[in-house]
């Protein structure tokens, strides 16, 4: 498992453990108590590191190449899943996967941004950056969900919508904007999870939800810390300061009233235990679907509207 | 986001005529054809270059004068103003930036909204102001746009919005992003109520503004030569590592790609708007 | 004005008239009575020709390069017209024009296939053969019409949807099929006019109407006579027989219950007098809009459904 | 229309296994990989070549056997048959063509329809028969498709249609074209009633059939390698005067271009259908 820069203290301990193990086997010596000691020390260090992550470090966890991806989570969470393809207009975008799924008695439409875990996968998935046809596929599936009264589950994990010539030609702005408007109109509940990077309009394009959850080490921001740093701080290396200033962590997004809950990850980040992450998301999905069962379609729509209507901080003194 | 371009170009020449004034406010050089124009001539031509047709950026006041019937514009939500709720500090604090922009412009934020009429047809309207922090959309812009839309949901007056914005206001973090959803959600209600919404996209309309209410008009009208994009040209150039074709992301490009209904000269805009509004509006009384 | 092959007898007479005129001027002789005689003879011949047109000849009139086109008719028929562009997905197709218009107190959305009158125009308009974005623009405008309770007027004049690689890639079949389904659902009246060629699915794609009118010399067919001849008759030169066999003229389409009325053209074909054609269409539009004013949205939709539901000729003996 | 290709290819080898039988009906040569296959093996493999996966065209009877629970298919509208109402005569009369096709197939027309169940889930269904006049859609096909859809509007059973058709039946003139509108209009009602419609596009699905009910599934499933197009390859080649790329207008091409949801092996179709139907159907009682 790739260690992140701030996990360096762990690297040394892990190396030492490996050496001791090798020694123990080669020399046929019992070093188990020494190994245990270092292991417990490593656990201690890991706990220390992970209970005090800076926003910038959290960004790195959120982008970890082995972080659980949408397609894998879907298969771990749901009983059945049939992937559906295409926007019926232009193409099928591998940067967004979606389909129909069941979970116990619940029937849902589920979709999310899809990143890869290696270069080849990432190129195929365009690093999780959708083109307009991705958003249009998502919309088609959501419209189907609304028609067949199936709740919508979305997983958000993208650096942003793809900034390319053809994406602009085919209306990236239009595709995202239309989704924002249409999602506001659906009468089925929409439950969204930011599972990694929630990057700007490209994230929001499938995120106009009744309920928004964030994984503990996920981030959600209007622009990447690097982008913010290079524009506002005039120095792209100041992304750590920008990450801090923009309030992009789960805790901050929750404080601002944008997220409704945080899903704890295993110590050391979600990439250490996909199943645990999946299980916790599954529990949340089930609980939320039960909650919304008692609401009518119009109530569901009104709740979503009220939620977004209240977003904003401004002053309005009496004249 | 494309606000990058705004920041990058801030010091360079822009479509804003103020920056081009020669002392005395008498002469101005056309950004496009370099013709030296008599300021008064330019103003009497709705700030369209009489020689090449270049459309200068204009202030909300000018827009109101050119578009609405005299003295019909009544501003609403005048006291709504921004707050530095994240205590955001980059090279300076957001609070200071707000103060500076306000004192320079005499306005609270980057949009002016209210009611007006166009050839006698009443509308709810909003006009974005690029001169105020690049027309960036924070909570105030989102709230004011949402309010005029919600008013139209009630009183059935068509909505006409003039956009000019570099995108989201980063100093308000995630809250600025959410304004995209908030304004678009309001438009969903408007659509359901069958009230027309005309979006007039002016230079520039990029980032989060383009990807929300700006592009969602029942009819989208672009001013000639306006930059209209989701991703800014610089970001795209950095991504694909090649120069962009001429005219890319300009109004005429969007017309060819099916994103806007028409590219309309500013001087014909009032007539066009009034014909469209007359045709689209369902004859009925407000509830 | 270009004369059609079967108008050859006229050509000789017209030549003679021209010669006599020239002679009369050059020689300063009064030949007016001779000229008049031939003119009345020509009128006679024209009447004879045009009262007995074969289906194949009607096809030629329907395709006459100076036949009134959609955009010109729109401007002649309506008081105001604002052309709207684009499908908001991919492009703007010049082979279909459309927009919003007024006619007295009526507010409508109007659209139609657009052919050109010369090679340059025809290339720009792709000879009136739409790509998928043309049908999607049409659908966008019709959805707007439905939302704003504006009747829809369509003008049909196409050899067919464009058979090209990119058209197939972008879903020509999907674009047409979706229009057929969605048009069936609108609660505003749809009045269609076949003004020239009604070619196959490409025509029907904007033709699922409550009321269908055909210009006297318009044709409407499932495949072009040439196509039918080359497939069924194994000889593309037998298009005259195919045109006859397929029953494609206004009279036949009306007999089959597909068209609801025929709009008479000036003698010699619509290309001789666009204004007259426009005026007659205008009268029909006004009459129909008045008719439908008394119906509710659901009644309008039900009437359209019933109309298409009844289309088909089959046997069904009792078991 | 693409039925051109059907006529042109009529004498040539096609995906239909009958044409490839070696006398005795014991051996058959795979159209795709030329492997000589034992007929019984091929049949027990749902007429999919065990070597290369090529999907042979199959008859409605075979489709019923492979897809539906045993003995659940009940045919409807069995007496509906075509009539030569235009007295259409090309190289022979339509009346004669009908008679020949009927006596050869023992069927009235190019579609078999009825009710059935898939892993216990009841559906209204129709299966097109390419062997009957190229699966062309005339009044009978249009009427039978419309009737099963209308039944589902009433009883809420999902609709599953297997298409295989060269397009419109020219011998019925304009009436065949109108079947596109009729079937699509019925689907509008079905959509409004929130009843699922699964379209299974089999080789070939072209022309008016592709541009109406075939492509309008809530979920479109294509069999591997099927030709699915609006305009036929020949017509396009004639228009653009160049050869078409390999795989053009085949199932996998349509998947890449966003037109079908999946390309599914015939042997997995029953399972896939039953999962989809279970997931999509709104639990409710028929009215
Ligand atoms: Zn100039
Ligand atoms: Zn084989």
pLDDT tens by residue, D129-175: 999 999 999 999 999 999 999 999 999 999 999 999 999 999 999 99
CA distance D276 to chain A (A): 7
CA distance C242 to chain D (A): 8
CA–CA separation, C284 vs C261, rounded Å?
9
Question: Is C140 at the interface with chain B, CB within 8 A?
Answer: no
Q: In 3-state terms, what secondary structure has residue A157? A: strand
Q: Name chain A contacts of B79, Cβ cutoff 8 Å.
A: 315-319
pLDDT tens by residue, D38-83: 999 999 999 999 999 999 999 999 999 999 999 999 999 999 999 9
CA–CA separation, B273 vs B98, rounded Å?
34
Percent of chain A with pLDDT over 70: 100
- Least reliable range by pLDDT among A284-288, B173-177, D239-243: D239-243
Q: Where are the domains of chain A?
A: 5-52, 59-309
**CATH-assigned architecture of domain A59-309:** Alpha-Beta Complex (3.90)
pLDDT tens by residue, B10-68: 544 444 444 444 555 689 999 999 999 999 999 999 999 999 999 999 999 999 999 99
Q: In 3-state terms, what secondary structure has residue D222? A: strand
Task: Check whether A185 has a pLDDT greater than 70.
Answer: yes
pLDDT tens by residue, B115-161: 999 999 999 999 999 999 999 999 999 999 999 999 999 999 999 99
D164, D153 contact by CB (below 8 A):
no
How much distance in Å is there from the Cα of D225 to the middle of ligand 2?
12
Pairing of strands B159-165, B111-118: unpaired
The ligand placed nearest to the CA atom of residue D17 is 2
Hunting for tokens 């709207």 — which residue is that? C84
Binary contact (C80, B257; C-beta < 8 A):
no
- Highest-confidence segment of B88-92, D38-42, D79-83, D231-235: D79-83
- Subunits next to D (3 or more Cβ pairs <8 Å) are A, C
CA distance B267 to chain A (A): 27
Task: Check whether D16 has a pLDDT greater than 70.
Answer: no
Q: Which of residues 196-215 of C touch D (CB under 8 A)?
A: 200-201, 204-205, 207-208
Q: What angle do helix axes C239-246 and D173-192 make, rounded to 10 degrees? A: 50
E strands within chain B?
A: 27-29, 36-38, 74-75, 81-82, 111-118, 121-128, 159-165, 197-206, 219-222, 228-229, 262-263
CA–CA separation, B260 vs C210, rounded Å?
30
Pairing of strands B121-128, C211-215: unpaired
How much distance in Å is there from the Cα of B264 to the middle of ligand 1?
17
What number of helices (H) and strands (E) belong to chain A?
A: 14, 9
Binary contact (A88, D256; C-beta < 8 A):
no
Tell me, what's the pLDDT at D21? 47
Q: Is the pTM of this model over 0.90?
A: yes
At B139, phi and psi to the nearest 5? -60, -35
Tell me, what's the pLDDT at D12? 45
Q: What would the DSSP string read from start to end of C22-78?
A: HHHHHTT---HHHHHHHHHHHHHHHHHHHHS--HHHHHHHHT-TTSPPHHHHHHHH-
Distance of CA C185 to the CA centre of its chain: 24
The ligand placed nearest to the CA atom of residue B41 is 1
Q: Mean pLDDT over all residues of chain A?
A: 96
pLDDT tens by residue, D99-118: 999 999 999 999 999 999 99
pLDDT tens by residue, B180-237: 999 999 999 999 999 999 999 999 999 999 999 999 999 999 999 999 999 999 999 9
How much distance in Å is there from the Cα of B250 to the middle of ligand 1?
17
Domains and CATH numbers, chain D: 21-56 (no CATH), 58-280 (3.90.226.10)
Q: Mean pLDDT over all residues of chain D?
A: 92
How much distance in Å is there from the Cα of B36 to the middle of ligand 1?
8
CA–CA separation, C30 vs D39, rounded Å?
91
Tell me, what's the pLDDT at D287? 47
Tell me, what's the pLDDT at D5? 55
Q: Which two tokens stand for residue C70?
A: 């959609």
DSSP 8-state secondary structure symbol assigned to residue B90? S
pLDDT in tens, chain C (319 residues): 789 999 999 999 999 999 999 999 998 889 989 999 999 999 999 999 999 899 999 999 999 999 999 999 999 999 999 999 999 999 999 999 999 999 999 999 999 999 999 999 999 999 999 999 999 999 999 999 999 999 999 999 999 999 999 999 999 999 999 999 999 999 999 999 999 999 999 999 999 999 999 999 999 999 999 999 999 988 888 999 999 999 999 999 999 999 999 999 999 999 999 999 999 999 999 999 999 999 999 999 999 999 999 999 999 998 7
Chain A residues bordering chain C (beta-carbon distance below 8 Å): 88-90, 132, 136, 170-171, 174, 178
CA distance D201 to chain C (A): 13
Mutate to test the interface with A, among D194, D252, D280 (most CBs of A within 10 A): D280
Q: Is the dihedral of CA A299, A300, A301, A304 positive or negative?
A: positive
CA–CA separation, D229 vs D214, rounded Å?
11
The ligand placed nearest to the CA atom of residue B48 is 1
Q: What is the interface pTM, i.e. ipTM, of the complex? A: 0.95
């Amino acid at each position: 498992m790739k260690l992140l820069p701030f996990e360096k203290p762990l690297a040394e301990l892990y190396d030492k453990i490996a050496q001791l193990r090798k020694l123990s086997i080669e020399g046929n010596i019992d070093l188990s108590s020494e190994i245990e000691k270092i292991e417990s020390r490593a656990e201690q260090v890991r706990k220390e590191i992970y209970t005090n992550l800076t926003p910038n470090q959290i960004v790195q966890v959120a982008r970890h190449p082995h972080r659980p991806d949408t397609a894998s989570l879907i298969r771990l969470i749901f009983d059945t899943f049939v992937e559906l393809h295409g926007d019926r207009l232009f193409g099928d975008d591998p940067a967004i996967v979606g389909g129909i799924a069941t979970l116990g008695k619940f029937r849902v439409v589920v979709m999310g941004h899809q990143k890869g875990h290696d270069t080849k996968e990432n190129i195929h998935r365009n690093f999780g950056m959708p083109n307009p046809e991705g958003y249009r596929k998502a919309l088609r599936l959501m419209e189907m969900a609304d028609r067949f009264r199936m709740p919508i589950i979305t997983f958000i994990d993208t650096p942003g919508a793809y900034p390319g010539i053809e994406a602009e030609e085919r209306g990236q702005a239009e595709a995202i904007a239309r989704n924002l408007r249409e999602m506001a109109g659906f009468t089925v509940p929409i439950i969204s999870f930011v599972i990694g990077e929630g990057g700007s309009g490209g994230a929001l394009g499938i995120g106009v939800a009744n309920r928004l959850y964030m994984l503990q080490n996920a981030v959600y921001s209007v622009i990447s810390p690097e982008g913010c740093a290079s524009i506002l701080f005039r120095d792209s290396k100041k992304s750590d300061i920008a990450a801090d200033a923009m309030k992009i962590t789960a805790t901050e997004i929750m404080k601002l009233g944008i997220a409704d809950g945080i899903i704890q990850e295993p110590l050391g980040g979600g990439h250490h235990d996909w199943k645990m992450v999946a299980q916790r998301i599954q529990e949340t999905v089930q609980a939320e679907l039960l909650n919304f069962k008692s609401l009518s379609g119009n109530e569901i729509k009104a709740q979503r509207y009220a939620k977004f209507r209240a977003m904003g901080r401004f002053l309005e003194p009496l004249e | 986001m494309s606000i990058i371009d705004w920041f990058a170009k801030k010091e360079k020449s822009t479509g804003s005529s103020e920056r081009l004034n020669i002392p005395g406010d008498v002469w101005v050089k056309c950004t496009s054809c370099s013709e030296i124009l008599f300021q008064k001539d330019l103003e009497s031509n709705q700030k369209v270059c009489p020689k090449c047709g270049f459309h200068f950026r204009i202030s909300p006041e000018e827009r109101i004068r050119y578009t609405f019937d005299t003295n019909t514009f009544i501003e609403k939500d005048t006291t709504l103003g921004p707050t530095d709720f994240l205590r955001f500090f980059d090279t300076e604090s957001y609070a200071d930036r707000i103060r500076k922009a306000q004192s320079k412009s005499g306005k609270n934020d980057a949009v002016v909204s209210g009611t007006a009429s166009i050839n006698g047809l009443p509308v709810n309207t909003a006009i974005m102001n690029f001169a105020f922090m690049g027309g960036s959309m924070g909570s105030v812009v989102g709230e004011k746009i949402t309010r005029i839309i919600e008013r139209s949901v009630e009183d059935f007056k068509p909505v006409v919005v003039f956009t000019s914005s570099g995108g989201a206001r980063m100093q308000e973090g995630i809250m600025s992003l959410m304004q995209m959803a908030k304004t678009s959600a309001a438009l969903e209600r408007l659509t359901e109520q069958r009230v027309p919404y005309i979006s007039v996209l002016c230079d520039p309309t990029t980032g989060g503004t383009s990807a929300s209410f700006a592009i969602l008009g029942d009819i989208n009208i672009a001013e000639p030569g306006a930059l209209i994009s989701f991703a800014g040209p610089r970001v795209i150039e950095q991504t694909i590592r090649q120069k962009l074709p001429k005219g890319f992301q300009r109004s005429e490009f969007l017309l060819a790609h099916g994103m806007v209904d028409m590219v309309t000269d500013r001087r014909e805009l009032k007539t066009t708007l009034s014909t469209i509004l007359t045709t689209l509006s369902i004859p009925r009384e407000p509830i």
